[in-house]
Structure 1
Amino acid sequence: MPFKINTNLSALDAYNALARVNAQTNKAQLRLASQLRINSVADDTSGYRVGKELEGKVTLMKAAQGNIGAAKNTLSTAESALTNINDLLIQIKGKIAEANDPTKNLTALANDINALGDEISAIFTNTKFNDTALLSGSALPSSSNFVFQTGETEKTTINFGTMNTLDLASISSSGATSSNITSLSVSTLETAVQDSLGKIGNYVQRLDVKDDYLTSAITNATASVSRLFDADMAIEQLKATKGQIGQQVSTTMLAQLNFQPRSLLTLFQ
């Protein structure tokens, strides 16, 4: 082995080894501090890209899940209104049946029917969710459709049927009179209400399925993001401890090798 003073190759090798140990130790300590395996794109380029794409999908799916909740609340509001209307229609049918009893006061029965009809009209007009009319009125969306995004790209359209086109004149205000009460019929309105209630039930079932799917998809995507980004704290602690010991050893060896050329001085004594 040649003896040189200007270039201490052994010390340079020790220095390079110490630099590598320092870099590895610093990376492990950074991961421990941040609890993240990927702290910059350079740590894992492909993993970073996949993870960020998954995070974007999770954000979309959570928003869609929130939309599903809003859709369910909308349906629940409409269901309550239609259930009340259905109950009132049953009362009206009872009044019409009573009118076929010649001992009854037809004028009083007609007034009762008109009052019940006015209440039905009020429910139609005032049933709203977040200031949006659900059953009738100028605020009703085009074609009675309510469109909710319920997936990454999927949309669900809710339609309450023909509620906003029904004619309530025959049972509201002064529509019912003592002379026409026995000929009144609410079968068309009753059928429309029941059809809409059936639609609401079907919509809720569909939304429940979508909600369950999104819950599972969000969980799986979040788990994938965790595998990509989250640090294994036990492994990183082992690496940090190993690195700290390596730093001490490498520093000691560098110090010894740095003074190795001094042995050449004995040749000049």
Structure 2
Amino acid sequence: GALKAYNALSSLNAKTQKAQLRLATQKRINSVADDTSGFNVGKSLDQKVKLMQAAQGNVGSAKDMLATAESQLISIKDMLTQIRSKQADASNPAADKASIANDIKSIALEIDSAIATTKFNDTNLLMSGSSGTGTGFSFQTGASSSDTLNVNYGEFIGGAGTVTGGSATAVHADIATDLSAAIAVTSSSISTLDIDSFETAVDNALGAIGNYTQRLDAKDDFLTSAIANSQASVSRLFDADMATEQLNATKSSIGGQAATAMLAQLNFAPQAVLQLLG
């Protein structure tokens, strides 16, 4: 009887310690031994959460990059409107065409400068490299390394973007080339200066940026939901039910005290018998 009481006391003490540990750490699983399958599943989910959080950061970076390009393209479009206004002024027979040509050159050079200096993380967004190879942007937008979005608004710029090497990421938006006619304008060519193709290229790029931004917004919303759901699953696996653990700790503690008292009595019983025999 005493041995059984001792075993019961040991079991109750172990339960008390486990409940107290869970209360202290607020975790149901503190080691693999607590729940092997739950531990493995929870760690796998936790890893995916971290990957999705990193992917969500990538989505934010992609949005920032597109916003940078969009802002500059809108500014360029405004400058093209100024050039059109200058062209309209040049249609006046009394206008100083040479002066207007210089104004257009100045605006065109400013557009060229804007294209050359529009960068994100030291990468030019609107101009190709000197070798003619494109600048592509590939962002991981999910937990899997294959879940990527190739940001390539250059391919939407007819005659202004070039895709080389057959790679979806090897693209560039070299719209600076389309400025050559504007920069070379003279007083004799001002009335026939054609900027339609360049403005169309800018419009196409802006449209592509808008489409990419919408896709990124959708991915951002999905990642927010997926992260929240995965974190909830991890919490259910790892987090302790504080009320239940408090109840278990109290129950085991009371049981341990009772078992200690009973063990003491059982240990004393043989001595009492010996006293009677004595």
TM-score, normalised by the number of residues in structure 2:
0.89
**Structure of higher RCO (CA pairs closer than 8 Å, 6+ residues apart):** 1
Residue 85 of structure 1: aligned partner: 76
Confirm or deny that 1:94 pairs with 2:85.
yes
Work out which of the residue numbers 103, 111, 127 in structure 2 matches 1:120.
Answer: 111
The 5 A counterparts of 1:186-205 are 186-205=195-214
Work out which of the residue numbers 17, 35, 38 in structure 2 matches 1:44.
Answer: 35
- Residues 129 and 135 in structure 2, CA contact (< 8 A), matched pair in contact too: no
Confirm or deny that 1:167 pairs with 2:178.
yes
Residue 157 of structure 1: aligned partner: 150
Following TM superposition, by how much is the alpha carbon of 1:264 offset from its aligned partner in structure 2, in angstroms? 3.3
Change (3 A) 1:36 1:140: farther
Following TM superposition, by how much is the alpha carbon of 1:167 offset from its aligned partner in structure 2, in angstroms? 3.0
Give the letter for the 1:134 counterpart.
L
Following TM superposition, by how much is the alpha carbon of 1:94 offset from its aligned partner in structure 2, in angstroms? 1.4
Q: Structure 2: which 5+ runs fail to align? A: 155-160, 162-172
Confirm or deny that 1:132 pairs with 2:143.
no
CA RMSD of aligned residues (A): 1.6
Give the letter for the 1:36 counterpart.
K
Distance in 2 separating the partners of 1:86 and 1:237: 67
Alignment partner of 2:234: what SS?
Answer: helix
Following TM superposition, by how much is the alpha carbon of 1:266 offset from its aligned partner in structure 2, in angstroms? 4.5
Alignment partner of 2:151: what SS?
Answer: strand
Distance in 2 separating the partners of 1:183 and 1:44: 79
Distance in 2 separating the partners of 1:70 and 1:104: 48
Q: Would you identify which runs of 4 or more consecutive aligned residues in structure 1 move more than 6 Å?
A: none
Following TM superposition, by how much is the alpha carbon of 1:13 offset from its aligned partner in structure 2, in angstroms? 0.4
Alignment partner of 2:178: what SS?
Answer: coil
The 5 A counterparts of 1:1-269 are 10-138=1-129, 142-153=133-144, 154-161=147-154, 162=161, 163-165=173-175, 166-172=177-183, 175-266=184-275, 268-269=277-278
Per-residue Cα deviation, 1:100-138 (whole angstroms, up to 9, x for no partner): 211100001100000000000000000011211111143
Distance in 2 separating the partners of 1:79 and 1:258: 85
Q: Structure 1: which 5+ runs fail to align? A: 1-9
Change (3 A) 1:226 1:148: same
TM-score, normalised by the number of residues in structure 1:
0.92
Distance in 1 separating the partners of 2:260 and 2:130: 77
- Residues 132 and 139 in structure 1, CA contact (< 8 A), matched pair in contact too: no
Following TM superposition, by how much is the alpha carbon of 1:268 offset from its aligned partner in structure 2, in angstroms? 3.9
- Residues 128 and 135 in structure 2, CA contact (< 8 A), matched pair in contact too: no
Change (3 A) 1:208 1:180: same
Question: Percent identity among equivalent residues?
Answer: 55
- Residues 135 and 160 in structure 1, CA contact (< 8 A), matched pair in contact too: no
> Larger deviation: 196-205 or 95-104?
95-104
- Residues 105 and 185 in structure 2, CA contact (< 8 A), matched pair in contact too: yes
Distance in 2 separating the partners of 1:180 and 1:214: 54
Per-residue Cα deviation, 1:41-95 (whole angstroms, up to 9, x for no partner): 0000000000000000000100000000000000000000000000001111111
